[in-house]
């Protein structure tokens, strides 16, 4: 009564049902997990029903016998599955990333191997069998392999860009971009070029990029990036005085890429500090920003000289009896330049305020910062 296919899906359905029961009664019950597993049970039961109704696609019994009598051809998937298991084991004692990679490899190998076995027993015609395997899996394999390959190239290239000096990086970006365009144009102009030659050039280029990426990853990021990585809340830690600091004011960003989606714009013009909030007419003497939410403020310096915007965010107790002011600031920026100050303030300004914005070295100008 039950066909081979329906037995398979019924078995999986029962297995999913057992997983549901184990999850609910013995593991950690959660609405999300229960919904997923019950959905899986339903989907597999539906597939079992469909397969049963269609009698496994009505494969002729003679075909099955003919194909099943042949010896199984060689396959690389057992080897890859073993590699996946090895990654799983390594992942359990080293890093979760290996464990996840092992799961991905095992799932991919399982699917590929299953479809391969199914296609090999579909008929006695090997060419036909290979064809149906390709028709089923190529639409998945090509995009996935393409994405993985592209991701590997991008990741390798990013390692190179992070390792080399920033000025060298710009030059490298231009050169590689130009090479890609020129190469693409040449290939397009010479359609008679041998496919093997094009493949060889592309493969060599890919190997070069991946190789450079591996080498760059071994050398690590350039020194300033390493320093930035271990520096949290750099805007709060930065020295916020009127004078330039050795590290905080080097490599100053003078322009910003985004001018929309900000909480307010603060301008320093002719010795006056002026704030503008979208939707409010004229200049404001107070800016309201939400608590515990990153808020961006654009600072524009239209005065002569280099200035920085400083946010005074109350005080905090460092140790018993020692209280220090909490400040955040931009870098010193030249006249006509702009920079973004991002603030995320966990406490209402009622708690230990008042908060305000000022210009370092200018005492008589400020804009209130209200955190309700």
Partner 1 sequence: MNHLPIRGRISVLMHMLSSVLRRLRGWILTGGAFIVLAGCAKNAPQDTWKPKGANATKIDNLQKPVFAVAGVIGVIVFVAVIYCVIKFRDRGQPIPRQTHGNPALEITLTIIPALILTVVGVFTVRTVFDLAKTSDTEMIINVTGQQWWWEYDYPVQEQYGITEPIVTSGQLVIPVGTKILLRETSRDVIHSYWIPALNGKRDAVPGRIQTNRIEADQPGIYAGQCTEFCGLSHANMRMEAVALSKEDFAKWVANQQSKYVAPADGTLAKEGEAVFLNQCVRCHQVNGLTRADGSPAIATADENVWTGVAPNLTHLMSRNTFAGAMFDLSTPECRKDVWESDSATFGSKYLAGVTEACLNQTALRDWLRNAPAVKPMYTNPALLSPTDGKYRGMPYLGLSESDIEKLVAYLLTRQ
Interface ranges with partner 1 (CB under 8 A): 28, 31-32, 53-54, 57-60, 63, 122-123, 128, 132, 261-263, 277-280, 286, 288-296, 342, 346-348, 350-351, 370, 372
Residue 33 or 183 having the CB closest to partner 1: 33
The rounded Cα 329 to chain-centroid distance in angstroms is: 29
Residue 106 or 122 having the CB closest to partner 1: 122
CB of residue 102 to partner 1, shortest distance in Å: 22
What is the C-alpha separation between 263 and 2, in angstroms, rounded? 66
What is the C-alpha separation between 167 and 161, in angstroms, rounded? 10
Q: At what angle do helices 96-120 and 77-93 cross, to 10 degrees?
A: 160
SS (H, E, C) 16-71: HHHHHHHHHHCCCCCHHHHHHHHHHHHHHHHHHHHHHHCHHHHCCHHHHHHHHCCC
CB of residue 72 to partner 1, shortest distance in Å: 19
CB of residue 310 to partner 1, shortest distance in Å: 21
CB of residue 220 to partner 1, shortest distance in Å: 28
Residue 156 or 339 having the CB closest to partner 1: 339
Please, are residues 335 and 303 in contact by the beta-carbon 8 Å criterion?
A: yes
CB of residue 30 to partner 1, shortest distance in Å: 8
CA contacts within 13 A on the Cβ side of 257 = 0
Backbone angles phi, psi at 314, to 5 degrees: 75, -155
Residue 62 or 184 having the CB closest to partner 1: 62
Please, are residues 120 and 112 in contact by the beta-carbon 8 Å criterion?
A: no
What is the C-alpha separation between 165 and 88, in angstroms, rounded? 38
Residue 131 or 361 having the CB closest to partner 1: 131
CB of residue 311 to partner 1, shortest distance in Å: 16
Residue 45 or 108 having the CB closest to partner 1: 45
């Amino acid at each position: 009564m039950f066909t081979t296919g329906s037995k398979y899906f019924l078995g999986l359905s029962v297995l999913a049902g057992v997983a549901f029961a184990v999850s609910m009664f013995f593991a950690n019950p959660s609405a999300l997990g229960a919904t997923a597993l019950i959905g899986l049970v339903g989907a597999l039961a539906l597939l079992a029903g469909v397969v049963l109704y269609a009698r496994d696609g009505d494969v002729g019994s003679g075909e099955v016998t003919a194909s099943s009598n042949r010896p199984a051809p060689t396959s690389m998937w057992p080897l890859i599955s073993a590699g996946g298991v090895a990654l799983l084991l390594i992942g359990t004692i080293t890093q979760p990333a290996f464990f996840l990679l092992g799961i991905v490899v095992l799932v991919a190998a399982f699917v590929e191997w299953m479809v391969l076995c199914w296609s090999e027993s579909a008929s006695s015609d090997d060419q036909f069998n290979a064809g149906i395997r390709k028709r089923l899996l190529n639409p998945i394999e090509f995009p996935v392999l393409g994405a993985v390959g592209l991701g590997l190239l991008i990741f390798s290239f990013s390692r190179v860009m992070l390792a080399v000096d920033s000025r060298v990086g710009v030059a490298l970006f231009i050169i590689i971009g130009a090479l890609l365009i020129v190469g693409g144009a040449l290939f397009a102009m010479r359609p008679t070029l041998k496919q093997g030659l094009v493949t060889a050039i592309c493969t060599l280029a890919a190997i070069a990029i991946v190789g450079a990426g591996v080498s760059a990853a071994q050398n690590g990021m350039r020194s300033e990036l390493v320093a930035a990585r271990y520096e949290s809340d750099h805007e709060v830690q930065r020295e916020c005085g009127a004078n330039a600091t050795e590290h905080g004011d080097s490599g100053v960003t003078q322009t910003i890429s985004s001018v929309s989606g900000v909480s307010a714009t603060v301008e320093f013009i002719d010795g006056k500090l002026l704030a503008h909030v979208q939707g409010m007419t004229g200049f404001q003497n107070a800016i309201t920003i939400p608590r515990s939410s990153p808020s961006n403020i654009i600072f524009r310096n239209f005065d002569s000289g280099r200035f920085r915007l400083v946010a005074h965010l109350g005080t905090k107790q460092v140790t018993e009896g020692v209280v220090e002011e909490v400040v955040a600031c931009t870098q010193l920026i030249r006249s006509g330049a702009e920079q973004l100050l991002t603030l995320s303030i966990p406490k209402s300004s009622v708690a230990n305020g008042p908060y305000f914005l000022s210009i370092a070295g200018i005492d008589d100008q400020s804009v209130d910062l209200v955190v309700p």
